[in-house]
Amino acid sequence: MQADRPIEAAPSAAAGLRAFPSPLLLLGGAVLVCAGLLTQPLILPLGAMYWDLVLYIDAANRIADGQVPLLDFLTPVGPLGYWLFAWLGELFPRAQPLLLAQWSLFVITAPAMALILWEADKRSRATAFGLLLPYLVFQILPINVEQYSFFPGTDGFGIYNRQISIVLYVLVCALVVLRDRRALMAVLVWCLLALLLIKITGFLAGGLVVAFALLAGRFDMRLSLTAAAIAGVVLLALEIGGGLVSAYVGSILALLEINSGGILERFFRAGSLHLDIVAAGGALIVVLAWLERRELAADVGHLVRERSPTALRSLLDRDIAWLAVTMAAGLFLETQNTGGQAFIFIWPVLLGIVKSWAGSGRRGAFAVLALVAATAIPPLETVLQRAGRAVLAQTGYIALPHTHLGPLGQVSQHPEVVGRAEKMQRIYADSIETFRSMAAQEILPGQTLYSELDFQLGWLMAIDAGIAAILAHEAKTGIRFETIMSLNFVNPFPALMGRTGVRHITIGADPFRAVPEPDGEALAAVAAADLVLLPQCPVTVANQRLHKVYAPALGGRREIALGACWKGFIKD
């Protein structure tokens, strides 16, 4: 793989590129612009499953209370994303939380990308911009490649999946571009630790690519051992500081036990969901194998005869092998993801293929470049197209009316969707028995209920009304509910009301995938909660299942109505 070969360009084109500002200046400017926008209470068009964002808001509130992810509350992924959100949330209290969650990753990716761009720009400014521009698109726009609603909007779900894909993009850029030993080691340690602490599947995918890079000779065993030692020291410090690493491993094992089985089915599902990229990338591998069959055969023969590391590196360090490995890593990653920016980290490899084939005059170059385009364009085009639609559509949207939601309520949607959400809240409240019957049959009111925009807007309206009802009850009785738990997927009440979340329970409480059987410590914490809420608009099988899971800790409580959409369970 000719990663350090600059993109060929005419002298006038090269001079024109040099007239542009440095890629480092563009990167720094983008970070500053995003920081400035975080100081403003921006309104974003609401998208499907917006409530996933509350995981970050809940976690940040708990961190502010002194709780530690994985030690004091269970999380579906690693702690780093929540720490970043919490730390930057203190600096930007007015920020739209989705933008804060998306742009907080600049703290991790921008320093590493700056090192990469500094070295790439010395050899080819075209290469540097070729790496920078896609990175900025995916890092800045909170948009997934999957779309789950008709009306355009931003994506509050799949945030940590986007984060690991962007970190993997930076990692692959480093492996392709960096030749300075110290810079490469720094970026490897930095990115792999970030992947591990954001989501374990991102670390496994990155580990696959890094292991291949070692075999392909991009760095030596000494560097890899040094990097492993540095990372080990960091992890040891986290473990000594409170047992965070062992708690993380325990949570991963618990989630694996709940979600075990069906890996082959997941590969088929991921491949079919992203068939455009997988098919084009697979075809590109086949075409490259055919066009380079003589060179490949020669390298295989050399390896058989010599059986040396040099012969192995000659066989592996080529475009086709890098593409196959990164495609495999991307497919594995998508078996564990629901929403994200799939396969974006193969872009640096595709750029290397373009550098090898563009203007080469080699037979088959047109087919190779056409397949590169077919592989690279879908995620970039989808994200840009969806973002453009959201910006244009928002001119006809209305802001969500609310009183108590704070930055979480800084969203808008089509007037028709907002009106439907208001009507559905009344229908849910007036027809509780109907929806309770559906929950008893273990079905939802709609097959795609949680991705429907009117449900997400209605859920925000219900939260707003629930807070008003709690405050009214407290004013009437003189009782303050300091610790609040919600038997729902997420619990925004403590963060929005300045209260405390119950310790030792799961945030992102999907009872079918992410809630292990509560132990005595968790049940004791639930039993000590001042207020436990059960949503009624609508009654769902998931909420009923959560009620059943925590029922042993709810005995002896008195039930009260908190508006039309919430039951409260309080201690006498």
The residue among 336 and 365 whose pLDDT is bigger is 365
The pLDDT-based confidence of 149 (bands split at 50, 70, 90) is confident
Q: How far is 77 from 475, CA to CA, in rounded Å?
A: 38
**Nearest one of 397, 490, 424, 425 to 153, comparing CA atoms:** 397
Is the model's pLDDT at 7 over the cut of 50? no
Higher-confidence residue: 212 or 21?
A: 212
Q: Is the pLDDT of residue 286 over 90?
A: yes
Tens digits of residue pLDDT in 263-276: 678 788 888 888 89
Amino acid type, 271: G
d(CA 94, CA 527): 34
pLDDT of residue 156: 93
CA distances from 175 to 24, 124, 162, 191, 393 (A): 19, 16, 20, 11, 40
Region 131-156: mean pLDDT is: 94
Question: Per-residue pLDDT averaged across 542-563, rounded?
Answer: 95
Residue-level pLDDT at 259: 74
Which of 133-137, 241-245, 566-570 has the lowest average pLDDT? 241-245
Answer whether 46's CB lies under 8 Å from 394's CB. Answer: no
Question: What average pLDDT score do residues 300-316 get?
Answer: 89
For residue 198, how far is the Cα from the chain centroid? 9
Q: What residue type is assigned to position 447 of the chain?
A: Q
Classify the C-alpha dihedral 89-92-97-98 as positive or negative. negative
For the segment 179-208, the average pLDDT, to the nearest whole number, is 95
Distance CA(281)–CA(491), nearest Å, equals: 41
If you average pLDDT over every residue of the chain, what do you get?
Answer: 92
Sequence-separated (6 or more) residues with CB below 8 Å from residue 346? 172, 281, 323, 326, 327, 330, 375, 376
Widest pairwise Cα distance in the chain: 87
| DSSP calls for 32-97 | HHHHHHHTS---EE--TTGGGGHHHHHHHHHHHTT--BTTTBB-SS-SHHHHHHHHHHHH-TTS-H
Q: How many percent of the chain have pLDDT more than 90?
A: 82
- Per residue in 198-244, pLDDT tens? 999 999 999 999 999 999 999 888 999 999 999 999 999 999 988 99
Could you say which DSSP state residue 21 is in? Answer: P
- Above 80 in pLDDT, residue 1? no
pTM of the model: 0.94
Q: What integer pLDDT is reported at residue 9 of this predicted model?
A: 44
Confidence band of 19 (pLDDT split at 50, 70, 90): low
* DSSP secondary structure string for all residues of 285-303: HHHHHHHTHHHHHHHHHHH
Per-residue pLDDT at 21: 78
Query: Looking up tokens 């609603």, which residue turns up?
Result: 149
pLDDT over 70 at 124, yes or no? yes
Asked whether the beta carbons of 72 and 503 are under 8 A apart, the reply is yes
- In DSSP terms, 71 is beta-bridged to none
Cβ atoms of residues 199 and 251 within 8 Å: no
What DSSP line would sit under 513-546, residue for residue?
Answer: TT-PPP-HHHHHHHHT-SEEEEE-TT--HHHHHH
**Cα–Cα separations (whole angstroms), residue 501 to 409, 517, 525:** 20, 19, 10
C-alpha R_g of the chain: 26
Query: In the prediction, which pLDDT does 148 show?
Result: 86
Instruction: Answer yes or no: is pLDDT of 4 > 60.
Output: no
pLDDT tens digits along 498-540: 999 999 999 999 999 889 899 999 999 999 999 999 999 999 9
Beta bridge partners of 559: 569
Average pLDDT (65-72) is 95
Q: Where are the alpha helices (DSSP H) in 337-431?
A: 347-357, 365-393, 415-430
**Token pair listed for 82:** 């929540």
Asked if residues 320 and 99 have their Cβ atoms less than 8 Å apart, the reply is: no
- In degrees and rounded to multiples of 5, residue 450 shows phi and psi of -70, -20
Q: Name the residue with tokens 């004091």.
A: 72
| Predicted local distance difference test score (pLDDT) of residue 269 | 82
